[in-house]
Amino acid sequence: MNTLQKFMMICSGSNIHILKKTPSEWNKFAGIGGIVLFTAIFATLSAGYAIFVIFDNLWATVVFAILWGLMIFNLDRYIVSSIKKTGTWQNQILMAIPRLILATFLGIIISKPLELKIFEKEINKQLNTIIQRNKKQLEAEMNGRILQQSGPFETEKKQIGQKIADYQKAYDSASVELEKEILGTKTGVTSGKIGFGTNAKRKQELKEQRRQDLENYQKQTDPRLEYLDKEISKVYANLETERGKTETFEDKFNGFAARLQALNELGENSEIIALASAFILGLFICLEISPVLVKLISSVGPYDYLLDKTENDFRLYAKEKTEKGNALTDWRIGNFKQILEKKK
């Protein structure tokens, strides 16, 4: 047994002392240990990429990736070592089912960050598409909010403008009628006499009245129009500030969850990427469950018999010690009772 073989056997979660007595089992358990080791290495790389995307910190990435890889390594060792080959085939299947389910979940967890790295170029392009789509959606929402918030002010402003236009129209009409009266233009509302006569004076007064009405209304509504303009400007300023903050956030839309969303959309839009993603996922699931399957489908070997014998010897030894302890206790209690009876 060389050093590499011994290390691989340790990775498989087997008992080295028993394996030394069964050389025919060395290759099998070294192979299982190699799968467990490489699964842990892939888990370390996968966690490292995911943490670097999230925190963008090299030291945090290295520390967490190593811890995650060690945890997966230890968990895989436990899953493999906990399967016993002794007992009926049905019992072995029942023991293996929860371990296979757990290994499948581990395979999914390990594969996703590596998928993100494999399709990184496509994901970056899709992220830009998502950002532009979100910006268009944001623009539509902003326009809707502008109409909603500034709508009452704009409506009131239009009403005041319409009223001013009506006053201006009345003034212009009075001016035209006065000019026609002075020129002697014959219409239904003029006398037809040239010069500044009685009718012209009356129309001059009406024109002056219309001018005063217009100026008075303008003076009355100028503060209100100024207030409405300020409120409308506030609405636009607030929404522009919010738009700027949101666009800054959108430009940084490249986190782990965003990349998962982009990968999901790529799979929905491209059958090739969906198929490749499924193959990668299947590869890591197979890699994760392969030690359990190898242990499950392999025949019972010398190692399994020796391990079962060793565990059975310990069970018998513990039972013997328990029985001896119980018998000794009963003997002491009996002696104590005899001493008490003699004293009486």
Both tokens assigned to 258: 């965003």
What pLDDT does residue 99 have?
73
* Model confidence at 241: pLDDT above 80: no
H helix runs in the chain, sequence order: 3-11, 16-19, 26-55, 58-81, 89-118, 120-183, 198-251, 256-269, 271-297, 302-343
What pLDDT does residue 218 have?
84
How many of the other CB atoms lie within 10 Å of CB of 123? 22
CA atoms within 13 Å, Cβ hemisphere of 298:
21
* CB 9 within 8 Å of CB 30: yes
Q: Whose CA is closest to 254, among 127, 136, 118, 120?
A: 127
* CB 107 within 8 Å of CB 284: yes
* Domain residue ranges of the chain, discontinuous segments joined by +: 3-118+272-300, 139-252, 302-344
What is the tens place of the pLDDT at every residue in 123-170?
A: 888 888 887 887 787 777 777 777 677 778 788 888 888 888 888 888
What pLDDT does residue 156 have?
82
The whole-angstrom separation of Cα 227 and Cα 222 is 9
Summarize the confidence of residues 37-49 as an average pLDDT: 83
Mean pLDDT of the chain: 78
